[in-house]
Structures are given as structure tokens and as C-alpha cells.
Amino acid sequence: MNSFGGIDSGKYVYKSDKTPRLYQTITPDLRFRHLGDLINIVQRYAEADLIVGTGICPCCGHDIGATLRFICELLQCHLKVTAEELPHASVVRPSWCETPPLRWPGPYRKAIHPPLPKTNITCQFDARTSPAWWKKTLPPETIAALKPILGTAINIGDNPIPGFDNRIGLSLGEKYHLIASSTLYVGIDSGLTHLAIMAGVKTVVLHNEDFCRTLFYPDSENLTFISRLDDVAAMVASPS
């Protein structure tokens, strides 16, 4: 037993049908601890037993353990979080960071919570990371052109946008509540977009031509990739 109260990796535990399986303890690769990375890892390993959550995300300053607990609680999955450093834990990474990268095999597990009234459009257009091989952020003129399309959309990004309902400095839980209360979420490639998919909200990912959407996102009937503003306007006009 480890001090967390579980059985170390390599030992057997028993599933609900009494068949044995190996106890699995995992820890995220230190290079991949952003929100989107952690969501993908929890989705991949939701049936594992224990995940190590220590340290601070370098791009947003969030506590890694708190973020993992939030994701696991949304999914109500088997995986538990510990702040204990466990040297035997298997290092894991998002599916897109494997060699070769793995295509996500199907839909994400959905978040489990009481239904929320859908009352707003929520958006986020600023990126906390800057990949070398594609441009995440939108040019200012594109964001300005979105304002008449989205109306008084709620912006939950890090930076205020003129003319939007800016909600800056929210916690991750507060951002999720606004996303889950939305008729439509419009954003760039980000961890918040992955949360919108988990929430079952109709989601639009704005991207340029270099973006490999099949690598970073699961199949989802609520997910649309758009690179033209006219297509965004059509989605807003028919949000159901």
C-alpha cells in the first residue's frame, strides 16, 4: 500500500465483476500540463486508479492538482488525484503527443451535472500557448468583425475585447458554468474548447488553414470547425 491508501502499480485489484486487473498509477508528462492536455489525459485514462497532480501550469498559473480534480469531478470517473510524488507512476501524455500521434477513437466522455438553462453565447479568442507550426490566435480585425455577428457574447478569455461582455479573472469552475449555460460556444483551439465539448454545448472552433483538426479533437456531433466568418453567422442564426 502507498501512503495515499491505494495499491502500488503492478499489484492486482478487482473490478466490480471480481476479475483481477493491475492497479494503474499515472503522472502527466511535465511538458504537457496545460488544460487541454490534462483533459485529454483524463479522458484517455479515466479508468486508471490514481493520477499524480503536482506543480503549477506555466502558462496560466493554475494548480495542476486542482485542475485534475475539477476534470475528474466533472466526469465522475474512477480516477483519483494525489499530490504525492510516486516514482513508480507511469508517465502519460495527450494522444496528439504520442509517437506517432494518435487519432482520438471516438467522442469524449461527457461531463455529468444537472441540466443548465441555455441563455448566452460564450467565446474565447486569446491563446496562452503559441505552437510553432500553426497560428492559434485571431487577428484583431477578425475579432472586430465577429462583434456584430455574436452580439453581446460573453468573453471568458484573459483579455477584454471592446464591445463584448467581458468576464475577466474567473476561476476555471466559473468559466465552465458559463460555457455549460451557453447556446453556442465560439473559440480558438484551447482547453476551454475541450471543456465545451465535454459540456455537450454546440461548439465552433475558429482556425486557419494550417490547423489539423482531426489530430486535436474527438468526433462530436456538437463540434464544427470554421475558417470563414460567413459560416459563423450561419451558425449563430440557427443555434439549435
86, 121, 210, 217 from 194: Cα distances, Å: 28, 16, 19, 8
Mean pLDDT of the chain: 85
Q: Which domains, from first to last, does the chain contain? A: 12-97 (no CATH), 120-237 (3.40.50.2000)
Grid coordinates belonging to 215 = 489530430
Residues 210-220 as b or e (16 or more Cβ within 10 Å = b): ebeeeebbbeb
112, 192, 196 from 205: Cα distances, Å: 23, 11, 10
Contact 154, 190 (CB under 8 A): no
pLDDT the model gives residue 135: 62
pLDDT at 8 over 70: no
Amino acid at 27: T
To which H or E segment does residue 198 belong? helix 191-199
Instruction: Report the relative pairing of strands 50-52 and 80-82 from DSSP bridges.
Output: parallel
Contact 119, 183 (CB under 8 A): yes
What gap in Å lies between CA 225 and CA 213, rounded to an integer? 8
488553414: which residue's cell? 209
pLDDT at 129 over 70: no
What gap in Å lies between CA 98 and CA 214, rounded to an integer? 15
459563423: which residue's cell? 232
Could you tell me the sign of the dihedral formed by the alpha carbons of 65, 71, 74, 75, in that order?
negative
Count the neighbouring beta carbons within 10 Å of the beta carbon of residue 157: 22
Which has the minimum average pLDDT: 38-42, 104-108, 128-132, 203-207?
A: 128-132
Grid coordinates belonging to 63 = 494548480
Q: Span 30-53, mean pLDDT? A: 93
Q: Which tens digit of pLDDT belongs to each residue from 184-229?
A: 999 998 999 999 999 999 999 988 766 677 778 888 888 998 888 8
Q: Which tens digit of pLDDT belongs to each residue from 103-119?
A: 887 789 999 988 889 99
Longest CA–CA span in the chain (Å) reads 60
Q: Span 144-162, mean pLDDT? A: 93
pLDDT at 1 over 50: no
pTM (predicted TM-score): 0.87
Contact 224, 207 (CB under 8 A): no
pLDDT the model gives residue 130: 61
